[in-house]
Amino acid sequence: MLARSAEEPPSGDGWAFEIKWDGVRALAYVEDDLRLESRTGEDITRRYPELGGLPASVDRPAILDGEIVAFDEDGHPSFQRLQARMGLTSPIQVTRRTRDTPVTYMVFDVLYLDDRLTIELPYEERRRLLAGLELEGPSWQ
């Protein structure tokens, strides 16, 4: 599921719209620990240590889909700010940037939950499952 440009939004039933977060798309594989994977399949977990508490918040096996976002001083998503966190490999740099540029994982879909793939479920059902997780953490929602 990727965003794409259109002259006008589609009309009629069967459509839902999501906010464009201007972040890094990431799958979160949640078990006893967390693994974050970029859209290209790269493991990006070490770049975002503030998301490490997500498994305790979910408290069961899950695969979540969302965007890692950095907000500006006014609370708006800022890809420019997020760029300071992208591509870091040094643990020292990651620690420094975590303090300077915190991120939030904005979850918008649940693809797997409780040992069950959910991707074949209707959108409304997946949204209900996601809402049931009550993901309100210090760095995720």
- Active-site positions read 20
What is the C-alpha separation between 135 and 141, in angstroms, rounded? 5
Measured in degrees and rounded to the nearest 5, phi and psi for residue 132 equal -65, -20
**What six digits make up the tokens of 20?**
């464009």
H or E element that contains 21: none
Which positions ≥6 away from 2 have C-beta within 8 Å? Answer: none
Residue 64 β-bridge partners = 28, 110
**What six digits make up the tokens of 70?**
């950095």
Query: Is the separation of the CB atoms in 73 and 90 below 8 Å?
Result: no
